[in-house]
Amino acid sequence: MAHPPSTPFERVLVANRGEIAVRIIRTLRALGITSVAVHTASDAGARHVVEADLAYQIPNYLDISAIVEVAGAAGARAVHPGYGFLAENALFARRCAEAGLVFVGPPAGAIEAMGDKIRAKATVSAAGVPVVPGAAEPGDDLTAWRHFPALIKPSAGGGGKGMVLVTAAADLPDALASARRTASAAFGDGTLLIERYIGDPRHIEIQILADGHGGVVHLGERECSLQRRHQKIIEESPSPFVDAVTRRRMGSAAVEAARAVGYTGAGTVEFIVDGTTGAYHFMEMNTRLQVEHPVTELVTGLDLVALQLHVAAGHPLPFTQDEVRLTGHAVEARIYAEDPARSFLPTGGRILTLHEPSPPRAVGELGAQPSVRVDSGLLEGGVVGSEFDPMLSKVIAWAPDRATALRTLDQALGDTTILGVTTNIPFLRSLLTHPAVQAGDLDTGLVERILPDLLPTTAVPDEVLATAALAFHDTPQGSDPWDIADGWRVGPPAWTAYRLESRDGVHDVKVRGLPREAAEVRTTAAAGAAEQDLSSRDAEGVPARLRASGHSLAVTLGGRTDRYAWARDLETLWLGRDGRTWALTRHRVGDPGDRPGAAGGGDGVVRSPMPGTVLVVKAQVGDRVGEGQPLLIVEAMKMEHTVTAPRDGLVTELPVQAGQQVDMDAVLAVVTSEEA
Ligand code: ADP
Ligand code: ADP
Ligand code: MG
């Protein structure tokens, strides 16, 4: 295939952040193009800024004027918008053109035609592409819709937000009203459409590429049926559901959809497919590079960003449809800063230790052996906050066959260590190894149905508790005035007690002896329970031993040695093993929550479940409240979370105000029992 494409621009501005900005910069570097990053004040040390050749600060990533101005000042000829932010903003595309900048994306008119789901469906339907049967405002009376189940969607929507599933006519009026409120708030446009809900639904999308000379090709499909709340989690190419004939037909339909709006550049046509009948229907077109584009790159050997630049420079596509070959199988997993064990609430924090599987695979490299590619926006020491999308990175595996690709991805996730921020890695690993996923028996409801099997336990294994206590014991002094290191006096070693708090409660663990040579560790798992010797496990009398070097710990308990990644942030110790992480905080006697077996809240202290912004304060100091009564609403990522009173009592502290930013676990209120 005639590739790589020519290098059309000397300087390109990347109007994005995180993993996608880093990924675009990678191609710019490979093509010898100078990369210009933009960043907000809080992102000054971010990975995309570090990796770019030049970087400029802007007020925020949606500030069109600032970005256009910076592009001019930096001498950039083109602007790549990535995905999200301004990628599907027709006004931005126009403003770039007016300033003499090439917008790396389709013409503004194509963005507009596809940005609105109602108009998009009408346009592609007229071009002969099958669409989901439905009704749309303003022409139709949505309250008269009678085919259930049905799905209400905001016409201007995206990212799975604001869609409502309706199963019976009686629920329709309320569902429409609620969807309209969400749509207006999230997208500034309350226009709705309603669609027949496709049974046994699979989300299968086609990657297309179009040049300005009438050339349009498709690059095969991606199966994106593994979703939660209509958001993709794991994607793969090819789809286990699609054969060569279906691929050709869906591919042609996607090409027709693109032609119908005069599309140029890379885009994705999303179809909802009935897994029982195989019938496929156009859902929408995303007029940008997608999060999951790497799986297509790995099976085609193409660099989509390089091709976007190539056609943006006005060149014809360097290959024909017949020259596109799909080789092997690729699977991607999205790593999110979220806690599946806490209803997937966003997390945050500082990245204390980072290990990503290596070596990273080159973009567009075609393999023969199983291999792994990492697209990441992470840097050790970086802070993950609540102002941006919680997707941190993507791990993508390629192998000659699907089973090997899934296994390779699972192993790569097990070889990923992110300490300091809780992520969904254990959840992704459970999902990848689930029998239905292994069998390729996917639909968009699968994840929700098997969710109980996938949620990681918060219980801290005994050997992890023992390891934490040994690690604290090994470095007893430090920042910690309340630590009484009574294990160090001359004579027979005495026990030192550690009270460690994790998400499953408070644990008492005690250690005596020297961790680097021979120590004993015991725990009292719950109040009243007998003490348990953790050092010897099965083999009686064998001492525990800890070896620390850099970011890793090796701990021998009962003759078995486990290896951990570790990091310490003041009184919190993070341990990581096989993609799982534990955070254990050493407690001062008298701290809130300092009670064996007490989980957070039992003490009346109300903490923020996520980093975010206090939206509403519904109580005041002195209020008498009942258990479960709403006290505040915290918001992050446009997601509201109501924080309630953990018990009956009086509100004695309420140290936050509406509009205030709060960290995860920040104290929001204290409810004191009136008996106390
Ligand atoms: P994909 O590219 O795979 O379709 P998503 O649908 O998750 O991935 O969208 C990619 C990014 O763009 C996400 O950060 C998402 O929040 C954001 N996004 C998508 N559509 C919109 C929209 N209409 N408005 C705001 N953000 C959007
Ligand atoms: P968004 O713009 O938020 O990405 P989409 O229209 O692409 O919205 O739909 C997102 C998801 O919702 C799809 O991936 C699919 O899981 C589900 N979905 C959308 N339309 C239908 C439908 N008609 N029947 C069944 N599921 C649907
Ligand atoms: Mg979509």
Is 361's pLDDT higher than 70? no
Residue 65 is assigned to a structural domain of this protein: yes
Q: pLDDT band at 592, cuts 50/70/90? A: very low
Residue 123 is assigned to a structural domain of this protein: no
Rounded distance from Cα 440 to ligand 2 centre (Å): 20
Q: What is the pLDDT of residues 294-353, one digit of tens each?
A: 999 999 999 999 999 999 999 999 999 999 999 999 999 999 999 999 899 999 999 999
Q: What is the pLDDT of residues 560-589, one digit of tens each?
A: 999 999 999 888 999 999 999 999 999 865
| Shared-domain flag, residues 354 and 436 | yes
Ligand 1: which of 16, 17, 83, 389 to mutate, judged by most atoms within 8 Å of the beta carbon? 83
| Shared-domain flag, residues 495 and 569 | yes
3-state SS track over 188-221? CCCCEEEEECCCCEEEEEEEEEECCCCCEEEEEE
Rounded distance from Cα 272 to ligand 2 centre (Å): 7
| Shared-domain flag, residues 364 and 470 | no
Residue ranges of the alpha helices (H) in 160-316? Answer: 172-187, 244-260, 293-300, 304-312
Give the type of residue at 60. Answer: N
pLDDT at 676: 60
Domain count, the chain: 5
Is 613's pLDDT higher than 90? no
Is 504's pLDDT higher than 70? yes
Residue 111 is assigned to a structural domain of this protein: no
pLDDT at 597: 37
CATH number at residue 51: 3.40.50.20
Q: pLDDT band at 608, cuts 50/70/90? A: confident
Rounded distance from Cα 233 to ligand 3 centre (Å): 13
| Ligand 2 interacting residues, C-beta cut-off 6 A | 132, 151, 153, 157-160, 163, 195, 197-198, 201, 203, 227, 230, 270, 272, 283-284, 444
The number of beta carbons lying within 10 Å of the beta carbon of residue 31 is 20
The Cα–Cα gap between 576 and 572 comes to 13
CATH number at residue 391: 3.30.470.20
| Shared-domain flag, residues 157 and 245 | no
pLDDT at 612: 85
pLDDT at 526: 59
In the numeric block, which tokens belong to residue 395? Answer: 């791990």
| Shared-domain flag, residues 323 and 395 | yes
In the numeric block, which tokens belong to residue 181? Answer: 């409120």
| Shared-domain flag, residues 289 and 341 | yes
Indicate whether residue 87 lines ligand 1 (CB < 6 A).
no
Residue 448 is assigned to a structural domain of this protein: yes
Q: Which atom of ligand 2 is nearest to the CA of 196?
A: 23
CATH number at residue 137: 3.30.1490.20
Q: What is the pLDDT of residues 12-52, one digit of tens each?
A: 999 999 999 999 999 999 999 999 999 999 999 999 999 99
| Shared-domain flag, residues 367 and 485 | no
Count of residues making up the chain: 676
Q: What is the Cβ-side half-sphere exposure of residue 51, based on CA atoms within 13 angstroms?
A: 24
DSSP 29: H
The Cα–Cα gap between 340 and 342 comes to 5
pLDDT at 610: 81
Is 154's pLDDT higher than 70? yes
Q: pLDDT band at 171, cuts 50/70/90? A: very high
The number of beta carbons lying within 10 Å of the beta carbon of residue 306 is 23
Q: What is the pLDDT of residues 236-275, one digit of tens each?
A: 999 999 999 999 999 999 999 999 999 999 999 999 999 9
* For residues 191-201, average pLDDT: 96
- Those residues with Cβ within 8 angstroms of residue 484's Cβ, 6 or more apart along the chain or in another chain: 496
Q: Choose among 240, 263, 250, 241: nearest CA to 218.
A: 250
| Shared-domain flag, residues 630 and 543 | no
| Shared-domain flag, residues 433 and 342 | yes
In the numeric block, which tokens belong to residue 437? Answer: 């996923």
| Shared-domain flag, residues 648 and 615 | yes
Cis amide bond preceding 4, omega within 30: yes
Full residue range of the structural domain in which residue 645 is found: 605-672
- Which of 179, 196, 213 delimits the end of a domain? 196
Residue 114 is assigned to a structural domain of this protein: no
Residue 2 is assigned to a structural domain of this protein: no
| Shared-domain flag, residues 258 and 371 | yes
Quick check: helix, strand or coil at residue 505? strand
| Shared-domain flag, residues 236 and 351 | yes
The alpha-carbon radius of gyration of the chain (Å, integer) is 27
CATH number at residue 654: 2.40.50.100
CATH number at residue 493: 3.30.700.40
